[in-house]
A and B are shown apart, each in its own frame.
Chain A
């Protein structure tokens, strides 16, 4: 079974600063996908960024980027130029690459951006 661990229950960052959220995972699969989802106070789950395990290049989406270390099974999210709207719960998630399999989520990190 796959497991996803987020070791930081809560974090805070000053507006315009950079913050990194940590995620580690455990799997014996070679083909898989990793995701970061954002959940603002509205409760809506929003995909922030995804990474295919077979790609060596780290994914980036505007101010969001990941540091994917496959050997270490680590998948951290870096948010640059933090904005007040980034305040949310962030969930790291894993999906096997072998078909229509469910997402496995970490417990989440609550990020507060402070003005």
Chain B
């Protein structure tokens, strides 16, 4: 049981480059989330998808786009990376209908130079 799988685990980008962070879950969860973690800031919500076909902005959506490709997959895209997007990114999933526990991927450490 893989749970939540994020790829890649590490990435270095140059300013202005684009990339997509991939996330997949195998628990048949309805809801999926993208957070970023910065020192002293906790985890802040970027975007979330309450169910397949829907997405909503979180606290810090600027500079990001998301796609809920199907029930399993939720990707995060940086169209033009900026140094301020250097962070650790976490994907998570949850299904409120049977449990309030959110499951997290192992994180992606992204550095923009």
Contact = CB atoms under 8 A, between A and B. Distances in A.
Interface of A: 6, 9, 33, 35, 42-45, 47, 50, 91, 95, 99-108
B42 A105 contact: yes
Given A33-B100, A45-B104, A50-B101, A100 B43 contact: no
B104 A100 contact: no
Given A47-B101, A50-B100, A102 B106 contact: no
Interface in B33-48: 33, 35, 40-45, 48
Given A99-B50, A99-B96, A100-B51, A9 B101 contact: no
**Top 7 A-B pairs ranked by shortest CB distance?**
A45-B104, A100-B31, A107-B42, A100-B50, A105-B43, A105-B42, A100-B96
A105 B37 CA distance: 10
Nearest to A91: B42
B94 interface: yes
Max chain A CB contacts within 10 Å: which of B43, B44, B45, B107? Answer: B43
B74 interface: no
Nearest to B30: A100
A42 B106 CA distance: 8
19 contacts: A33-B100, A35-B100, A45-B90, A47-B101, A91-B43, A95-B100, A100-B30, A100-B50, A102-B31, A102-B58, A103-B33, A103-B43, A103-B92, A103-B102, A104-B45, A105-B35, A105-B44, A106-B42, A107-B42
Chain A at the B interface: SS class: loop
A94 to B, nearest CB: 11
Contacts of A95: 100
B101 A108 contact: no
Contacts of A33: 100
Contact of B104 (A6, A44, A106): A44
A41 B90 CA distance: 15
A100 B94 contact: yes
Contacts of B35: 105
B9 to A, nearest CB: 9
Given A102-B31, A103-B43, A105-B44, 4 more contacts: A44-B104, A100-B94, A105-B35, A105-B43
